[in-house]
Amino acid sequence: MVELSSVNLNRLITFVAVVEAGSLTAAAERLGLAKSMVSKHMQLLEAEVGVGLLLRSTRKLALTEAGRAFYDASRQLLQQAEQAIEQARSSRDIPQGTLRVASPIDYGVMVVAPLLSQLRARYPALKVELVCGDGLIDLIAEGIDVTVRLGKLADSGYMAARVGRLRRWLVASPAFVASHGMPDGPEALPALPYIALTVLQQPQSFTLEHADGRQHAVRMLNTVFATNTATVCRAAALAGDGVLRATEFSVREDLAAGRLVRLLPAWTLPESDIHAVFPASPHLPQKVRVFIDALKLAAGD
């Protein structure tokens, strides 16, 4: 079998043009090449293929039997290449194919999944696969197009786009506040029952900053509920188990509905960023681009 690397595929274009134009001269005019160059391409192509393709005379040009079969196959191959290129180019404008997204569990459930459903409704040719987990993922090894990462980014060879701000608030249920009282300052927090998310680097410790610039380091001393999943933390807070350091996106609706209340609203926790991370590529696929744009819109930043 002939190795494709030994055949200059550009000469197939010249060969098809020669057959369809009927002569080397007409093919040269169509391609914008010198007739001598077209003739040289044909000689080299026959050498690469290993058979004669053209019968030449001073008056006309004809195909050998092998040349007729080779012309049909070459024309089909070039048409398929054109279709592949056109399809690739169209994907720049119309998201299509399967978009594989990775996300932390709580952000995936509350933000990414609804957003992907909206994109599917807008772009029917797009399919999605969402992989949720709270650990770091190898995008290349897992075949992931884009992942969402919350907080400080680890150094990597990937590209990243900031899509929003990550804010955390102290919250508790109205029943908890009715039972334990509303804290009047950071000093009152350590003794209160606390719900800890164990995947955080310092689950029980954090720093609060007042609007006037004052800072207060807090270490919660009475952890009554600990879990490695943010959605379980939220469920415990809704059940009235304790104070929770929660992400804004995870409790925004609960606060609006009165299921949770914000504690010490004059004090804020340090903010960080939400990023979309994706493998480096000369051309960002349109399906990834529209997802990133939708994330930015959802974040409202």
pLDDT, tens digit, 9 for 90 and up, residues 14-59: 999 998 888 888 899 988 899 999 999 999 999 888 899 998 776 6
Measured distance CA(85)–CA(81) in Å, rounded: 6
Domains of the chain with CATH codes = 4-90 (1.10.10.10), 97-166+273-299 (3.40.190.10), 168-270 (3.40.190.290)
pLDDT at 61: 82
Please check the confidence at residue 148 and state whether its pLDDT lies above 90. Answer: yes
Residue 53 sits at the vertex; the CA angle it makes with 74 and 26, to the nearest 5 degrees, is 75
Is pTM beyond 0.85? Reply is: no
For residue 139, is pLDDT > 90? Answer: no
Structure tokens at 287: 């399906």
Q: Which two tokens stand for residue 245?
A: 């350091």
- Cβ–Cβ < 8 Å for 236, 225: yes
* Residue found by looking up tokens 């919350």 in the block: 150
Helix (H, G, I), strand (E, B) or coil at 180: helix
Asked if the model's pLDDT at residue 96 lies above 60, the reply is yes
Q: Judging by beta carbons within 10 Å of its beta carbon (0-12, 13-18, 19+), is residue 205 exposed, middle or buried?
A: exposed
pLDDT in tens, 179-227: 999 999 999 999 999 999 998 889 999 999 998 889 999 999 999 999 9
User: Residue 278 is encoded by which pair of tokens?
Assistant: 């994706």
Residue-by-residue DSSP string for 20-65: HHSSHHHHHHHHT--HHHHHHHHHHHHHHHTS--EEE-SS-EEE-H
